[in-house]
Amino acid sequence: MTNKSVIFFDIDGTLLNHEKELPASTKESIMKLKEAGHIVAIATGRAPFMYEELRKELGINTFVSYNGQYVVLNGEVLYANPLNITSLIKLTEDALQNEHPIVYMDHEDMKANVPEHPFIKESIDTLKIKQFPTHDPHYYKERELYQSLLFCPVGEEKQYEEKYDDFDFVRWHPVSVDILPKGGSKAKGIDKIVEKLGVSKENVYAFGDGLNDIEMLTEVHNSVAMGNAEDVVKSVAKHVTDSVEDDGIYHGLQMVGLLK
């Protein structure tokens, strides 16, 4: 058992503001945590390749990606939970008939099963990342996929939810839905790291703002919701800090006693 604290941060709306920028106070706070000997980690729905530059800027090499499906501790893969490929192929066939494109994602890249589609561009552009899925309809072959993206208007994902019970479908954009292994979550990914590090639950912290942070903020002993979070997210957290735009990370770390 170690006396160190480990602090998990969501990215979008938590570490990064709504312009996908890292506030100066947030970066300074992260550096102070590390100087004090704490372990700083990321817990996000993003793929690892989508925030490699952020990890380098902050010197972070422990993270939970894909909402718990791909977990890395000190630069080494600790846990991986891939999608059921047989079910994904069947879902792809159904989606193609409905003119709903799919993007396949592993830990290194993402590929679309159609050459182009306005829904793909519209949703991926909001992430403001350098990567954009290129066309490879067979990317699922001979590799493990940890998430896929289904592109369809709100409500049309219900037909897939009813048919594919080994997947969770989580909407993140008006025209896009995450496809994840059933029952996965950031909280479960965090558990893998905490168990391996031997950190007591009293020394585990988590900051988040989104609906996919609810389980994490519910289960982590010291949980902090951002001021810009929805009310349902705030309701499950132990603390609520200011918004990401108003130095919320800095104030939240002060609130829980990790910074003076």
Same domain, 129 and 75: no
**Enzyme catalytic residues:** 10
Whole-structure pTM value: 0.91
Task: Report which DSSP code applies to 86.
Answer: H
Structural domain range at position 228: 6-80+184-255
In a domain, 97, yes or no: yes
3 state SS of 63: strand
Picking from 181, 201, 218, the residue at the C-terminal end of a domain is 181
Signed CA dihedral, 92, 95, 101, 105: sign only: negative
CATH number, domain with residue 124: 3.30.1240.10
The number of folded domains in the chain is 2
165 burial class (0-12, 13-18, 19+ CB within 10 angstroms)?
exposed
Residue-level pLDDT, tens digit, the chain, 260 residues: 456 899 999 999 999 999 999 999 999 999 999 999 999 999 999 999 999 999 999 999 999 999 999 999 999 999 999 999 999 999 999 999 999 999 999 999 999 999 999 999 999 998 888 889 999 999 998 899 999 999 999 999 999 999 999 999 988 899 999 999 999 899 999 999 999 999 999 999 999 999 889 999 999 999 999 999 999 999 999 999 999 999 999 999 999 999 98
